[in-house]
Structures are given as structure tokens and as C-alpha cells.
């Protein structure tokens, strides 16, 4: 049960589409206690002034892209908001983007969704990515510019389908972003998510996963680099309610500078029905300087006696002197040795991105961050 007041398995009971069902967070709630509310620019209170986000989609020819109104019946089928800001986004967005990968289609290139913020004022969004049975696609979400943005993103992965998502939070330094990513995974479907959070003053991203049938497989990876003053928070929830599904969570971050703050929450529930579940979650933080702080809280709640595997680990530490010494002893200057070790630490995860071009892009972004 960890630090939660109530068992994880009851968390969803609080989910709702009604804003009134959520109190304005005070910061004392378990789910808000790490987040500096004063920096949310009113997103949690509904007091933020209206702003704007531009959504553009460069789609693979096999997929369809629609911009739809609030009343589109397909929206909100896979999830219900689990916190106040998610509910605020649900009640405030004007247009949603729906991307559909038709049955058995194999997208021939990644579909890139670029979300560009243009300054002050709050914007709200909704995105639905629907991958129909036996289809395959790669989706890139790229967040750039300055924004105060809250959104919900639904990934609906059909029977036997495969969806790979890369979400880049590459905001300007002043951005505030609170986002719920929900993946609903059908029979024998595969969902792979890779989150890269580098920019923003405050980013709070909550990826969650549910399964609707046996055989689902979710792989959730993330890398983040937290600079002085940044608050980058990732809150994962994997809810195993079906037999023989898999989940693997691996998030890694590096922190540098005064008041660099990373938060990682990894909640995994294995319900009574979820026999044969195989799950592992891991978070590692590399703390590069004094004044940086990482809060890392894995919670694993197992309600069945029949699991195939269940584990979690969390480790935060400094750069290893022995690594640096070895590289320096070969003539490599300290700063470069440090960069190589950090790049190696994050790179072991980035290597998992299968598409060369995307992997190189992510590497390039991380390199640029390290060179700053």
C-alpha cells in the first residue's frame, strides 16, 4: 500500500468526468503532495486565462486524422479523469484530434503530432489515437513552445494491434503542462510508450494503462533531464485486471542544479482476476549536483496469488567516481567524461527505440540538453 492512504485498487473509484467531483487540490492530497501548486498558473483552480495551442499532424498515408467537437461519441470511452486537472481539461477543451489507424493497416511512417504553445494563458486539449485490430502504427507527440496546457490523451489499442508512441516534452523553460495519457489495451495487443521530458517549468505527466482482455503487453519507458528550478513529475499507473498480461516500466532521469526536482510514482495493481501477470517497474535517478532532489515511489499491490512475475526497484544516486576515473585515466576531460556517463545511463533506455531516425533524434535532444 506504500504511502497511499487507500489501497491503489480503489483509486479509480474517484474517477469522474464531472469537475465538481474533485475538490481544488490543496497540496495535502497524496496525489498532489509533490506538485508545487503555486506554479500551475491556475490550471488546478480553473482560474487560468484563455490561451491557445496549435495542433498540427503530419500523418502516415494509411491513417485518418479528424478534428472533432466535444460531442463526438468516440471520446472518453477508454478512461475517466482521475484528478482535478484532467477533469478540467475534459470539461474545457473545444476541439479534439482523432487519429485512426484502420483495421490491419500498417502505417508506413511515423505520424507526428506537433503541439505548439504560443505564450501565456491556459489551453486545454484532447487527443484520441485509435488503432484498430491487427493494425500497427508509430505516433510521435511533440510539445514545443511556451504554454500552460492541460490535456487528456487516449490510446485505444485493438485486438492484436501494435502502437508505439514517443512523447517529447521539449517545451520552453516557462511552460506548464499537466497531462493524462491513458492506454487501453485489448486482446494480445502491444503498447510501447517512450516519454522524453526535457523542457518546461513544471511538467506533470500521468501515463496509465488498463487491459480489456488477456495477452496485452505494455512497455513504458521514459527519460528526463531536470535542470535548475524545473519540476518534472511522472506518475505511472498500470492496472492489471485481466489474466496473463505483461507490463514493464523503466524510467530514468538525471538532475542538475539548484531546486531541480524529479518525481516518479509507479503504481502497479494486480487484481484478483489478473492471474499470470508479469510486471516489473524500475526508476533510477542520477543526481549530478547538490540542491537537486528526486522523489521516487514505487507501489506494487498484489491481490492474486498467481503471478508470473512481479517486481519493482528504485535507486537514486550520484555519478560513480570509478566510472569517471576510468574515462579520465584515458585522457578524457572531466566534463566530457561526465557527459559520456550520463549519456550512457540514459542511452541504455534510448537504445530501445527501434526506428533509427527517431532514436537518433532523441539522442540528439538529450545531447543538446547535456551540452547546455
Partner 1 sequence: MSTLEIRDLHVAVEDKQILRGVDLTVRAGETHAIMGPNGSGKSTLAYAIAGHPKYTITGGSVLLDGEDLLEMSVDERARAGLFLAMQYPVEVPGISVSNFLRSAVTSVRGEAPKLREFAKDLKAGMDALSIDPAFAQRNLNEGFSGGEKKRHEILQLELLKPKIAVLDETDSGLDVDALRVVSEGINRFRGTGDTGVLLITHYTRILRYVKPDFVHVFAGGRIVEEGGPELAEKLEAEGYAAYTKDAA
27 in contact with partner 1 (CB under 8 A) = no
Closest CA to 57 of 140, 117, 170, 151: 140
For 14-46, the DSSP string reads G--S-GGGSPPP-S-STTTTTS-GGGSTTTTTT
359 in contact with partner 1 (CB under 8 A) = no
Closest CA to 256 of 331, 130, 136, 342: 342
Residues 197 and 9: their CA atoms lie apart, in Å, by: 28
318 in contact with partner 1 (CB under 8 A) = no
* 24, 313, 325, 368: residue in contact with partner 1 (rule CB under 8 A): 325
Contact 209, 220 (CB under 8 A): yes
Q: How many CA atoms lie within 13 A of 228 on its CB side?
A: 6
Cβ neighbour number for residue 21 with a 10 Å cutoff = 13
* 305, 330, 356, 371: residue in contact with partner 1 (rule CB under 8 A): 330
253 in contact with partner 1 (CB under 8 A) = no
Determine the distance from the C-alpha atom of residue 82 to the mean position of all C-alpha atoms in its chain, rounded to a whole number: 15
356 in contact with partner 1 (CB under 8 A) = no
Contact 153, 81 (CB under 8 A): no
Quick one: 232 or 346, whose CB is closer to partner 1? 346
* 18, 289, 333, 360: residue in contact with partner 1 (rule CB under 8 A): 333
Smallest gap from Cβ 303 to partner 1, in A, equals 35
Segment interacting with partner 1, rule: CB under 8 A, options 23-31, 78-86, 339-347, 361-369: 339-347
Residues 219 and 207: their CA atoms lie apart, in Å, by: 11
81 in contact with partner 1 (CB under 8 A) = no
* 98, 153, 346, 358: residue in contact with partner 1 (rule CB under 8 A): 346
303 in contact with partner 1 (CB under 8 A) = no
**Scanning residues 96 to 125, which ones bind partner 1 (CB under 8 A)?**
none
Closest CA to 356 of 364, 366, 367: 364
Cβ neighbour number for residue 62 with a 10 Å cutoff = 18
* 5, 322, 356, 372: residue in contact with partner 1 (rule CB under 8 A): 322
61 in contact with partner 1 (CB under 8 A) = no
Contact 57, 99 (CB under 8 A): yes
321 in contact with partner 1 (CB under 8 A) = yes
Number of H helices, E strands in the chain: 4, 16
* 79, 224, 264, 345: residue in contact with partner 1 (rule CB under 8 A): 345
73 in contact with partner 1 (CB under 8 A) = no
328 in contact with partner 1 (CB under 8 A) = yes
C-alpha cell read off for 214: 488477456
43 in contact with partner 1 (CB under 8 A) = no
Smallest gap from Cβ 286 to partner 1, in A, equals 11
334 in contact with partner 1 (CB under 8 A) = yes
Segment interacting with partner 1, rule: CB under 8 A, options 45-53, 74-82, 119-127, 326-334: 326-334
Which positions lie near partner 1, rule CB under 8 A?
Answer: 321-323, 325-334, 336-337, 340-341, 343-348
Amino acid at each position: 500500500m506504500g504511502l497511499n492512504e487507500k489501497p491503489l485498487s480503489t483509486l479509480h473509484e474517484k474517477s469522474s468526468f464531472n469537475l465538481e467531483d474533485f475538490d481544488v487540490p490543496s497540496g495535502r492530497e497524496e496525489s498532489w503532495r509533490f506538485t508545487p501548486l503555486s506554479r500551475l498558473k491556475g490550471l488546478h483552480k480553473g482560474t487560468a486565462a484563455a490561451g491557445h495551442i496549435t495542433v498540427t499532424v503530419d500523418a502516415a498515408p494509411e491513417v485518418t486524422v479528424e478534428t472533432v467537437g466535444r460531442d463526438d461519441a468516440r471520446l472518453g470511452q477508454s478512461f475517466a479523469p482521475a484528478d482535478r486537472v484532467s477533469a478540467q481539461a475534459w470539461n474545457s477543451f473545444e476541439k479534439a484530434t482523432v487519429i485512426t489507424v484502420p483495421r490491419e493497416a500498417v502505417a508506413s511512417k511515423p505520424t507526428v503530432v506537433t503541439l505548439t504553445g504560443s505564450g501565456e494563458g491556459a489551453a486545454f486539449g484532447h487527443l484520441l489515437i485509435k488503432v484498430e485490430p491487427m493494425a500497427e502504427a508509430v505516433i510521435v507527440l511533440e510539445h514545443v513552445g511556451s504554454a500552460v496546457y492541460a490535456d487528456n490523451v487516449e490510446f485505444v489499442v485493438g485486438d492484436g494491434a501494435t502502437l508505439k508512441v514517443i512523447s517529447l516534452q521539449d517545451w520552453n523553460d516557462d511552460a506548464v503542462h499537466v497531462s493524462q495519457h491513458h492506454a487501453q489495451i485489448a486482446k494480445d495487443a502491444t503498447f510501447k510508450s517512450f516519454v522524453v521530458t526535457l523542457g518546461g517549468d513544471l511538467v506533470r505527466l500521468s501515463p496509465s494503462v488498463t487491459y480489456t482482455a488477456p495477452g496485452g503487453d505494455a512497455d513504458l519507458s521514459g527519460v528526463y533531464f531536470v535542470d535548475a528550478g524545473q519540476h518534472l513529475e511522472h506518475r505511472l499507473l498500470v492496472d492489471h485486471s485481466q489474466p496473463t498480461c505483461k507490463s514493464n516500466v523503466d524510467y530514468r532521469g538525471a538532475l542538475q542544479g539548484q531546486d531541480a526536482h524529479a518525481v516518479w510514482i509507479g503504481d502497479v495493481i494486480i487484481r484478483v482476476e489478473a492471474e499470470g501477470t508479469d510486471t516489473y517497474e524500475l526508476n533510477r535517478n542520477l543526481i549530478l549536483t547538490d540542491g537537486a532532489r528526486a522523489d521516487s515511489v514505487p507501489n506494487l499491490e498484489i491481490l492474486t496469488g498467481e503471478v508470473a512475475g512481479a517486481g519493482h526497484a528504485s535507486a537514486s544516486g550520484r555519478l560513480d567516481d570509478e566510472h569517471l576515473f576510468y574515462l579520465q585515466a584515458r585522457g578524457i576531460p572531466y566534463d566530457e567524461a561526465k557527459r559520456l556517463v550520463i549519456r550512457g545511463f540514459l542511452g541504455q533506455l534510448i537504445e530501445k527505440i527501434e526506428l533509427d531516425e527517431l532514436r537518433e533524434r532523441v539522442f540528439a535532444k538529450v545531447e543538446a540538453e547535456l551540452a547546455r
